[in-house]
Amino acid sequence: MLNPPLDCPSCGLRAKVDSAYCAECGFPIGQLRGEKADPLIGRTLAGGYRIVDRIARGSMGEVFRAEQANLGRAVAVKVMSPTLVADPQMVSRFHNEARAASSLNHPNCVRVYDYGETPDGRPYIVMELLQGQELAALLARDRQPPVSRVLDITLQVLSALDEAHGLGVVHRDLKPENVFVLPQRGGGDLVKVVDFGLAKLKSNSRATSGSGLVFGTPEYMAPEQAM
């Protein structure tokens, strides 16, 4: 059963259902629900990625903050849910995300550094750690941001999609929850398109969703994708 949403006691933002941390300020929302620490926390994965804490949870798995010891940098590690590992279709989709994102080298696309498996056989993706908020969280707080900001964010998203489409990658699940907005020191926003789990690669014309199944978010899905 999903946990009920909570308001962050630090900044007041309504946290997503089952979020471990506030998307706005990073407050550990999960502690308010009495959640136990994940067994991966404190472990070091192949490649020297030491898991520090969990920062998000989604339908495909969990995202952890980790430290890469040999380079001294913080990274994000997305680990597949143990309940999905036995499903070859879900594993293929997870691997597809890694392949799609790693093929992109663009300032508005999330960067993927590595791919591997935990000791218990769960696939994981190592990517850049984004210090910002989902566009969905931004819009929940400010329903009418300035037009100039809207245009800037939109143009950056389009730039990311243009790069992806030029390399034969179609996202197929673009929505505010999959767009991160990062504040810049000099002002303005840096936008990152994330979550390429449903992406279609030109080099692999077979859909990862399987025959007769439709994946995506109906409110943001292209009509031809639902057919």
Classify residue 89: in a domain, yes or no.
Answer: yes
Three-class SS state of 118? coil
Look at residues 111, 128, 145 and tell me which one is the last residue of a structural domain: 128
For the cut 80, the answer to whether the pLDDT of residue 2 exceeds it is no
List, in order, residues 6 or more apart from 84 with CB less than 8 Å away.
Answer: 60, 61, 90, 91, 94
Structural domain for 79, as ranges = 29-128
Task: Flag whether pLDDT at 3 surpasses 60.
Answer: no
The larger pLDDT score, comparing residue 90 to residue 75, is at: 75
Is residue 110 located within the same domain as residue 164? no
Q: Could you tell me the two tokens for 170?
A: 């179609």
Q: What's the token pair of residue 52?
A: 């520090």
Cβ-based neighbour number of residue 85 at 10 Å: 18
Catalytic residue among 38, 152, 173, 189: 173
Q: What is the CATH number of the domain that holds 86?
A: 3.30.200.20
Could you give the residue ranges of the DSSP H alpha helices within the chain? 88-102, 135-141, 147-166
Span 84-95, average pLDDT: 89
Phi-psi category of 47—alpha, beta or left, where left has phi over 0 and alpha has psi -120 to 50? left
Give yes or no for residue 38 having a pLDDT over 70. Answer: yes
Q: Indicate the SS3 state at residue 142.
A: coil
Residues 116, 46 share a domain: yes
- pLDDT computed for residue 206 by the predictor: 45
Whole-number Å distance between alpha carbons of 117 and 120: 8
- In this predicted structure, the answer to whether residue 117 has a pLDDT above a threshold of 50 is yes
- The torsion angles phi and psi of 97, rounded to 5 degrees, stand at -60, -45
> Which of 73, 96, 128 is a domain's end point?
128
**Does residue 139 sit in the same domain as residue 75?**
no
112 and 43 together in one domain: yes
**One domain, residues 149 and 115:** no
Q: How many CA atoms lie within 13 A of 18 on its CB side?
A: 9
Whichever domain contains 186, its CATH number is 1.10.510.10
What local confidence, expressed as pLDDT, does residue 195 receive? 84
Q: What is the pLDDT of residues 6-32, one digit of tens each?
A: 677 767 776 665 566 665 565 666 666
Tokens of 33: 């629900």
Task: Work out the average pLDDT over 47-62.
Answer: 88
Tell me if residue 173 is catalytic: yes
Per-residue pLDDT tens digits for 91-108: 988 888 888 888 889 999
The answer, as to whether pTM is greater than 0.85, is: no
Contact 7/14 with Cβ under 8 angstroms? yes
pLDDT, position 135 = 95
What's the mean pLDDT in 54-62? 84
Q: How far is CA 111 from the centre of its chain?
A: 11
Domain presence at residue 5: no
DSSP secondary structure, 95-115, as one string: HHHHHHHHT---TTB--EEEE
| Tally of structural domains, the chain | 2
Provide the mean pLDDT of the chain.
82
Question: Which residue, 100, 128, 156, sits at the end of a domain?
Answer: 128
Residue 197 or residue 149, greater confidence: 149
Q: Same structural domain for residues 140 and 218?
A: yes
pLDDT tens digit sequence for 165-221: 898 888 878 899 999 999 999 889 999 999 876 666 555 544 444 544 555 676 766
Q: What are the phi and psi torsion angles at 154 (to 5°)? A: -60, -45
